[in-house]
Amino acid sequence: MTVPILYSLRQCPYAMRSRLGILHAHQTVVLRDIDMKNKPEEMLLISPKGTVPVLQLSDGNIIDESIDVMVWALTQSDPNNLLYSHDKQKLPRMLELIHRSDHEFVDALQKYRAASRYHDSNEEECRDHCCEWLMEIERALTKHAYIMGETPSLVDYAILPFIRQFSRVDKKWYGQSALPYLRSWLVNHYNDPTFSKAMFTHPKWKKGADDVMFGDF
């Protein structure tokens, strides 16, 4: 194997951010978009937990955490300086914010989505919990175009898929919410051709199928 293999799922936010990291790092992988109801044995053998993304490197090493996939890719190449190499204090702050997002915001978001889906009476309360966290991002965006500064960083692309999910729960409410800077930030990402490339629909992978190359090739 000379090219890493990425097991992915188009709509999974964790897989989504791993693809964004690979694209921004100008890396090339074989993309295997899987069916979660029929997980391939090849993926389960190297990552028994059965979640995506899973990246199998050329040397056989396995990376099965989405942030680790992003950091691996950007460590290979970071042409847009998403790791903010000019400021060594920024990366630990990014990783801390991503960790908080993955635990605080994502937990609140899952409850909000469930409440909306099942028309629970606590939907507004769940949404308010999301907004408490999002206001920190909104305040940052009032100061500069992106979360960490005037240029995008790792954290922008790491939390983007989850902000996208939040915006789609109640589109009418979101469009009128007190999050104008966040809305502009999200639209800017949507208008980036890299996002469209990350979200391109590929056929589900089956053993014996031709390889689908993804990334910088």
Which H helix or E strand runs over 181?
helix 180-190
What pLDDT is recorded for position 1? 63
Task: List Cα–Cα distances, 138 to 25, 175, 181, 182, in angstroms.
Answer: 27, 14, 6, 6
Which H helix or E strand runs over 124?
helix 123-143
Report the C-alpha gap between 43 and 45 in whole angstroms: 5
pTM listed for this prediction: 0.96
The length of the chain in residues reads 217
* Cβ-proximal residues to 212 (8 Å cutoff; 6+ apart), any chain: 30, 31, 32, 33, 202, 203, 205
Compute the CA torsion angle 95, 100, 105, 111 (nearest 10 deg).
120
Local mean pLDDT, 10-residue blocks, the chain (217 residues): 93 98 97 96 96 97 98 97 95 97 97 95 96 97 98 98 98 97 98 97 94 88
What pLDDT is recorded for position 27? 97
Asked if 93 and 149 touch (Cβ cutoff 8 Å), the reply is no
